[in-house]
Structure 1
Amino acid sequence: MKFSHSLATAMAWSLPLLTTQLVSQPAMAESTDANASAEELSAVTVTGTRLPGDPSRAPLILDVIDRDDPALSTASSVEDVLSRQPGLHIDGSGRRNGQTLSLRGFDSNGVLVRLDGVRQDIGTGHLGAFYIDPWLIREVQIARGALSSLYGSNAMGGVVSFETVEATDLLQPGEQGGMRLSLGGTTGRDELGGAFSAFGRQDTANGRIDGLLSLGRRESGDIRRAGGQEAPEDAELDSLLLKGGWEPDDRNRIFAQWQRYDETATQPANPQQLGDEDDQRRRQVTSDNVQLGHRWRPADASEVTSRLSLSRQEIDESDANRTLERWGLQSDGYHRIEHGWLTQTLVLGAEVDRASQRPGGGASGFPDADIDTQALYFEDTLSAGRHLAEGGVGVFDLGLGARYDRYDAEGADGRSTEETQLSPKLRLSWRPAQGLMVYSGYAEAFRAPSLSELYADQRHFAGFCPAPGFCFPDNHWVPNPDLQPETSHTWESGFAWERGDWTLRASYFDTRADDFIDSEVDIAAGTTQAVNVQRARLWGFDARLAWEPEAWPEFRAIAGLSEVSGKDRDSGEPLGSETPLESTLGADLDLLDQALTLGWRGRFADSYERPDDEGNLPGYGLHDLQLAWRVTPAFSTSLRLSNLGDKVWYRPNGALGDGRSLFASFNLQW
């Protein structure tokens, strides 16, 4: 075993012991200030900080979608969940296994997707990376910014975290068990489906146990895009979630889970394109995520979570098969210490994982290869001072952090790649008064090359003859084991303000990105190779405004604004508006003693340059209407009518957006 493996594994298992030593410090034992600090740490874990706490004090732009939001409760795909988030775009033609995302100028390779804390990053051809049924999702957090200092590779534009539902999310106060039947569908993909869940918890002589079993099924047909165009498909999706936990005491929880996604679809070879009825193939995509873990809370302001995980994705077609299997061990935790006038919050963690690609049949661009990754990371936030109203100059928070990653990749022919990457972060925030924070910081991020980019050597596409007697040869991938990781350097500054009924958050970022990885195709030579080609600058802003009038508690309004622009730093040529000037507006009104909620969402974008430099794409305005109604304590329904005017619109990459569709879900719980 390599030394780096041993070091990271030792760190992963010794982290609980380190926390034990910190907890034993007298400063934490009886301090009244420590108790107050512990009360500030809410049960919500903020993606991007790995800390529970008040999201309004997180020094980043964070959006949260919970299971009561009609966008989630009626969704049939990840596009339905995320497509109205400002600055975030889901690319593809609506097929579940062809959906990828872009955020802050980075495509899906530069945005990390996590499912219950485990990395999801299979990359092959034109297939996507979202293999989860929305029936199973409890919450989605979208954290924007360079976050490699905590999450490692791919977290250059941000992190999107999906959390699955637990028994405690479904149990009503005083209940020990229950069942739930959900039925739903959407006209936009001619889909009907249902899910059945059984859940419960029980106090025993040896502690509390809880568990949940959920089974789902969806059947769908052709997908309707904007303007009435259709993406042909015939798909069946089966999903499973089995999870449970045991809490022998108030400080410990042992948990286990299995999440499965199994979709079989007849669709075009490239599911990201509209395609036609003559270009169809049968494709099965299965994804299994299994984990066993332990959560330990040795003190009110401390927590350590360790988990052993197995993630396996398989894409099976008639003439090709692709399998990615990932074993991982990770342990991370936080601890808050009071030093009198100074508060210190530590985040520590370690990860070890091994990913293996195994192609079968005529799979192309998916080489037989392995990659081992080890990482150690920490973040230390120091807080001191008093608010201006208390005679001080404000509360200052200084955050220092870094993550060390090492990856060792090897192809089937013995060619190997070894790289290390250090991702530091520095942040300073000032809170002059309650409800006001100003912050600024610097962070570095990276993306390790994929195994396909490093070692692919199969045929890319067949040769062709543009004229009689003149032909180009078959095109083959050429391995590039010397490929360097993409890197970025980001400055970001912003503020958070809360006063009375209003809250406002905004940030501006400026990113210098180096060594973008692109495919260099030489038609005459018959070769394709992944190369480091570009240095770019990306800049833009995000803003969120919310109004919840105390005099009218039944009403809520939100607004979001974002834009991302870029240019090539070598040529000075613009990269185009990576995300056009875009705003999201919404309002909700509660009626019938909050049993009925009516809502409206609007997304508006300015015109922007086509990615192929062939003119501009028009701006657009999209309107959604939604309803959530708890008819009785046992029966509820959600309805959503998206793209009310059936507006023809395009995403920044030129893909046709979704068309008018009615989403519905009905839930009966007993």
Structure 2
Amino acid sequence: MSRKKFPLKVLALALGVTSSVSLAQQGELEEIVVTATRTEKPVFYSPRATTLVTAEELAQNTGQSVAELLKDVPGVSIIDSGQAGMQRIRLRGEDSSRVAVLVDGQQITDHRGEGVPLTLDMDTIERIEVVRGSGSVLYGSQALGGVVNFITRKGGSKQFAADLGLSHNGATSGQTYSGSVYGQLAGTAYRLSSIDNDLGLRNTPAGELDNTAAQNSAWSLYLGRQFDKHRLEARVEDVEANADVYIDPQVIIDNGLTDFTMAIPQRDRRKAALFYSGDNLSQSLVKLQANAYRQVSDRIFQNATYSPFMETASSTDSQLETRGGLVQADWSLSDSHYLIAGLSSLRDDLVQDRLSTLAFPTMPFLDRQTPGHDEAQLQSDALYLQDQWAITDDLELVAGARHYRMRSELLETDRPDLEVAEQRDSKTIEAVSLVWEFAPRALLRASYNEGYVFPSLLNTAVGAQAGSRYVNPNPQLAPESSDNFELGLRLERDNWSLDLATFYTDADNYIDHLFCTAADNCQIPGSSSRPSKIYKNVGRAETLGTEMILSYAISDSLELYGTTTWMQREIQFNTTPDSTATDNSGIPSLRAVAGLRQSGRLAQSDYWLDLYLRGESDSAEEDEAGTITDNAGWGTVNLAAGIELGGEQRYRLVLRGLNLGDKLYSSATENLLAPGRHVQLKLSVHL
């Protein structure tokens, strides 16, 4: 298959985001490193549905959340779980716990049901690569829905350079301050970065939302050095975050409470990582790379309920320590075969302390506190292989497999009745893709990928709290799994481009918690008035969807673009013998973005204007009990503008007006009302 350089329009085709690249920059673009194959490959030739968000697009964004950077990527949905400052993402309908989140190819693990919150330093991100659809063969458990890889900035070409940034968010009266110094001294590349982000209460057309404030701050240090064919790199980072949790007042009323509060006063993460890469070490060994990292995540979760006669409170203080490593060798076995072979190992150690309080305002002698302590471990080891076979110049077959060995274990607990057996699993999964360039700049692709998610430590070892009820762990749980089929078409012509992907996913063994029955033999059954729950494999889903990205260049400075995601998702909860499937999954059948963008030069300065519409259709969500919640469709009008000023474009000003019609709405996958009409502003200075 030809590996020509390709115009920048192809990159815009692959992005599917509103901040498309400037048409004035059209021309030749060198090949792009993508996550889809763990090898360098142009986006146009990727065998998977792949989205790349570039450094230029990141610089033109004004949001204060990393998740906002991905809002318009096809197949992506934002979820907030009532936490405005700790958003997560879903891919193709799969929950965030089934999406692998990576930083420089290293996974951020999380054993909570909500998935990984995206509390990263936005200004250290060089680009974001999103693989839509299962990436379990190359990236392990949790990648059933897809992979999001945040690739960080490295050093610079000069001895010294600096960037300063200031952002304002009118929806929260929030401020973001950021700064970085970077360069190269005596052959060593370096970058030191820091950011502070403060979000106030969210303003909506219905008024200000209580308990929606959040703060996060971070710093990081990067060092790298080249030794002939070898390169060594190190990176450390420290992220501190906290957030209030919004509770719908109707929930308090429906439960007969006078108040109900939740908070996450700590959601911190510390990481140290080492990287090695060697290029062209022999005639057949094209590349050798290895990395290792240690990551510590600290979390405190608090909740309390208040009624006239009883008050309850609980606090969970947990620490998750992750140690991971990977070795991968790239082999050129012949002119037509490129083989990668890798070994990966990941260990999670969870330690959590619990304190539950029960108080009776009218009978304080009945008050009591119950402490608790748990420790558990999850070990994941895997071998993966992938061969890229160039059958002809225009036809390529990519086939891969991964063999897992998984083990989870409860190491220690002070719950006297809880004894959980060790759980082990060994499984091999496969993936295969075919890419055919049937005409110049016209490509068809087809792929099949298996998905795999091993149960979390909460599922199998320590259990969890669901409100005031305990959820028993279940070492007999089967891993969640899926079969994923995808067809794709990419076309590029002189002034238009198209990227089309149609997919079908059949997923099974979804894990959720149900009330204990006699057959479950729950070790901690609770009481007759407040029975406990237990984790079970209770559901499956079939998802059919189409993602389309279309752009048309009206002139050298004016472009029309649009992205659409159509999705139909059918879910079945196997909670009772007569359970039936429902297509009320809570996912809207249609999401779309359409816009008109102009770019050019004004008085020796580059500028751009972007007027776009964003919206989704109505949807409905049915839970295990058969209760249906309707979500109204919505649409918003938005306008963005930016200009670069000064010598060498040292100053950049970006202005974005969102929800200009002041629409009252909430996205189907978010709990919070969306912000009303507001302005975001970002000023960047390069020194």
Q: In the alignment, does 2:620 pair up with 1:626?
A: no
Q: What amino acid is aligned across from residue 408 of structure 1 in structure 2?
A: R
Instruction: Render the CA deviation track for 1:116-146: whole Å, top value 9, x for unaligned.
Output: 2111131336575222122222211221112
Among 551, 556, 573, the alignment partner of 1:553 is 556
Whole-Å Cα distance in 1 between the matches of residues 629 and 247 of structure 2? Answer: 29
Query: Displacement of 1:504 after TM fit?
Result: 1.0
Q: In the alignment, does 2:508 pair up with 1:501?
A: no
Counterpart for residue 408 of structure 1: 407
| Mapping for residues 182-221 of structure 1, pairs under 5 Å | 182-202=165-185, 204=186, 208-221=187-200
Answer yes or no: is the 8 Å Cα contact 2:653–2:682 preserved in 1.
yes
How many residue pairs get aligned? The number is 600
Among 372, 381, 385, the alignment partner of 2:392 is 385
Classify the secondary structure of the residue corresponding to 2:171: helix
Answer yes or no: is the 8 Å Cα contact 1:635–1:667 preserved in 2.
yes
Counterpart for residue 4 of structure 1: none
Whole-Å Cα distance in 2 between the matches of residues 457 and 140 of structure 1? Answer: 34
Answer yes or no: is the 8 Å Cα contact 1:427–1:439 preserved in 2.
yes
Flag the 1:530–1:270 CA change in 2: closer, same or farther, 3 A: farther
| Mapping for residues 75-94 of structure 1, pairs under 5 Å | 75-92=63-80
Q: In the alignment, does 2:666 pair up with 1:650?
A: yes
Instruction: Render the CA deviation track for 1:248-290: whole Å, top value 9, x for unaligned.
Output: 22x221000012111244555899x999997364602211121
Greater displacement, 350-359 / 494-503: 494-503
Answer yes or no: is the 8 Å Cα contact 1:77–1:96 preserved in 2.
no
Q: In the alignment, does 2:265 pair up with 1:287?
A: no
Answer yes or no: is the 8 Å Cα contact 1:178–1:198 preserved in 2.
yes
Answer yes or no: is the 8 Å Cα contact 1:72–1:134 preserved in 2.
no
Q: In the alignment, does 2:437 pair up with 1:437?
A: no
Flag the 1:565–1:640 CA change in 2: closer, same or farther, 3 A: same
Counterpart for residue 515 of structure 1: 509
Among 451, 467, 477, the alignment partner of 2:471 is 477
Flag the 1:348–1:42 CA change in 2: closer, same or farther, 3 A: farther
Instruction: Render the CA deviation track for 1:448-491: whole Å, top value 9, x for unaligned.
Output: 101001123465443xxxxxxxxxxxx32212011110000111
Counterpart for residue 305 of structure 2: none
Instruction: Render the CA deviation track for 1:571-619: whole Å, top value 9, x for unaligned.
Output: 3432436342111223321132661111123222222224455364222
Among 236, 250, 255, the alignment partner of 1:258 is 236
Among 364, 369, 379, the alignment partner of 2:376 is 369
Q: What amino acid is aligned across from residue 384 of structure 1 in structure 2?
A: I
Counterpart for residue 354 of structure 1: 347
Greater displacement, 514-523 / 104-113: 514-523
Answer yes or no: is the 8 Å Cα contact 2:83–2:246 preserved in 1.
no
Flag the 1:197–1:585 CA change in 2: closer, same or farther, 3 A: same
Classify the secondary structure of the residue corresponding to 2:44: helix
Counterpart for residue 299 of structure 2: 315
Counterpart for residue 584 of structure 1: 593
Q: What amino acid is aligned across from residue 289 of structure 1 in structure 2?
A: K
Greater displacement, 591-600 / 108-117: 591-600
Counterpart for residue 368 of structure 2: none
Answer yes or no: is the 8 Å Cα contact 1:97–1:128 preserved in 2.
no
Answer yes or no: is the 8 Å Cα contact 1:417–1:481 preserved in 2.
yes
Counterpart for residue 543 of structure 2: 538
Whole-Å Cα distance in 1 between the matches of residues 644 and 487 of structure 2? Answer: 41
Q: What amino acid is aligned across from residue 600 of structure 2 in structure 1?
A: L
Q: In the alignment, does 2:600 pair up with 1:600?
A: no
Q: What amino acid is aligned across from residue 610 of structure 2 in structure 1?
A: G
Flag the 1:308–1:67 CA change in 2: closer, same or farther, 3 A: same
> In angstroms, what is the RMSD of aligned CA positions?
3.1
Counterpart for residue 278 of structure 2: 296
Classify the secondary structure of the residue corresponding to 1:146: coil
Counterpart for residue 14 of structure 2: none
What TM-score do you get using the length of structure 1 for normalisation?
0.83
Answer yes or no: is the 8 Å Cα contact 2:98–2:145 preserved in 1.
yes
Answer yes or no: is the 8 Å Cα contact 1:121–1:129 preserved in 2.
no
Flag the 1:93–1:180 CA change in 2: closer, same or farther, 3 A: same
Q: What amino acid is aligned across from residue 629 of structure 1 in structure 2?
A: I
Flag the 1:227–1:58 CA change in 2: closer, same or farther, 3 A: farther
Classify the secondary structure of the residue corresponding to 1:176: coil
| Structure 2: 5+ residue stretches without partners | 7-28, 303-314, 357-370, 413-419, 517-527, 573-578
Flag the 1:500–1:194 CA change in 2: closer, same or farther, 3 A: same
Instruction: Render the CA deviation track for 1:486-542: whole Å, top value 9, x for unaligned.
Output: 000111112111122222111211111111111113585611111001232111111
Counterpart for residue 417 of structure 1: 423
Whole-Å Cα distance in 2 between the matches of residues 323 and 270 of structure 1? Answer: 29
Counterpart for residue 93 of structure 2: 105
Classify the secondary structure of the residue corresponding to 2:459: helix
Classify the secondary structure of the residue corresponding to 1:69: helix
Answer yes or no: is the 8 Å Cα contact 1:148–1:445 preserved in 2.
yes
Among 127, 142, 146, the alignment partner of 2:134 is 146
Greater displacement, 398-407 / 326-335: 326-335
Classify the secondary structure of the residue corresponding to 2:67: helix
Q: What amino acid is aligned across from residue 257 of structure 1 in structure 2?
A: R
Classify the secondary structure of the residue corresponding to 1:476: strand
Answer yes or no: is the 8 Å Cα contact 2:252–2:259 preserved in 1.
no
Q: In the alignment, does 2:540 pair up with 1:526?
A: no
Counterpart for residue 239 of structure 1: 218
Query: Displacement of 1:81 after TM fit?
Result: 1.6
Whole-Å Cα distance in 2 between the matches of residues 402 and 303 of structure 1? Answer: 20
Greater displacement, 475-484 / 368-377: 475-484
Answer yes or no: is the 8 Å Cα contact 1:221–1:232 preserved in 2.
no
Flag the 1:201–1:495 CA change in 2: closer, same or farther, 3 A: same
Q: What amino acid is aligned across from residue 327 of structure 1 in structure 2?
A: R
Q: What amino acid is aligned across from residue 491 of structure 2 in structure 1?
A: W
Greater displacement, 596-605 / 284-293: 596-605
Answer yes or no: is the 8 Å Cα contact 1:367–1:452 preserved in 2.
no
Q: What amino acid is aligned across from residue 453 of structure 1 in structure 2?
A: N
Whole-Å Cα distance in 2 between the matches of residues 285 and 72 of structure 1? Answer: 28
Q: In the alignment, does 2:683 pair up with 1:662?
A: no
Whole-Å Cα distance in 2 between the matches of residues 96 and 244 of structure 1? Answer: 33
Among 141, 157, 161, the alignment partner of 2:145 is 157
Query: Displacement of 1:234 after TM fit?
Result: 4.3
Whole-Å Cα distance in 2 between the matches of residues 162 and 331 of structure 1? Answer: 20
Q: In the alignment, does 2:334 pair up with 1:344?
A: no
Q: What amino acid is aligned across from residue 436 of structure 1 in structure 2?
A: A
Answer yes or no: is the 8 Å Cα contact 1:72–1:80 preserved in 2.
no
Flag the 1:489–1:667 CA change in 2: closer, same or farther, 3 A: same
Answer yes or no: is the 8 Å Cα contact 2:511–2:536 preserved in 1.
yes
Counterpart for residue 471 of structure 1: none
Answer yes or no: is the 8 Å Cα contact 1:177–1:200 preserved in 2.
yes
Greater displacement, 319-328 / 370-379: 319-328
| Mapping for residues 224-235 of structure 1, pairs under 5 Å | 224-225=203-204, 227-235=206-214
Answer yes or no: is the 8 Å Cα contact 1:456–1:477 preserved in 2.
no
Whole-Å Cα distance in 1 between the matches of residues 504 and 115 of structure 2? Answer: 30
Whole-Å Cα distance in 1 between the matches of residues 654 and 641 of structure 2? Answer: 6
Answer yes or no: is the 8 Å Cα contact 1:338–1:344 preserved in 2.
yes
Counterpart for residue 223 of structure 1: 202
Whole-Å Cα distance in 1 between the matches of residues 545 and 650 of structure 2? Answer: 46
Answer yes or no: is the 8 Å Cα contact 1:212–1:242 preserved in 2.
yes
Whole-Å Cα distance in 2 between the matches of residues 44 and 479 of structure 1? Answer: 44
Whole-Å Cα distance in 1 between the matches of residues 660 and 232 of structure 2? Answer: 46
Whole-Å Cα distance in 2 between the matches of residues 374 and 125 of structure 1? Answer: 22
Flag the 1:334–1:558 CA change in 2: closer, same or farther, 3 A: farther
Instruction: Render the CA deviation track for 1:555-583: whole Å, top value 9, x for unaligned.
Output: 33321111221224673432436342111
Whole-Å Cα distance in 1 between the matches of residues 536 and 41 of structure 2? Answer: 42
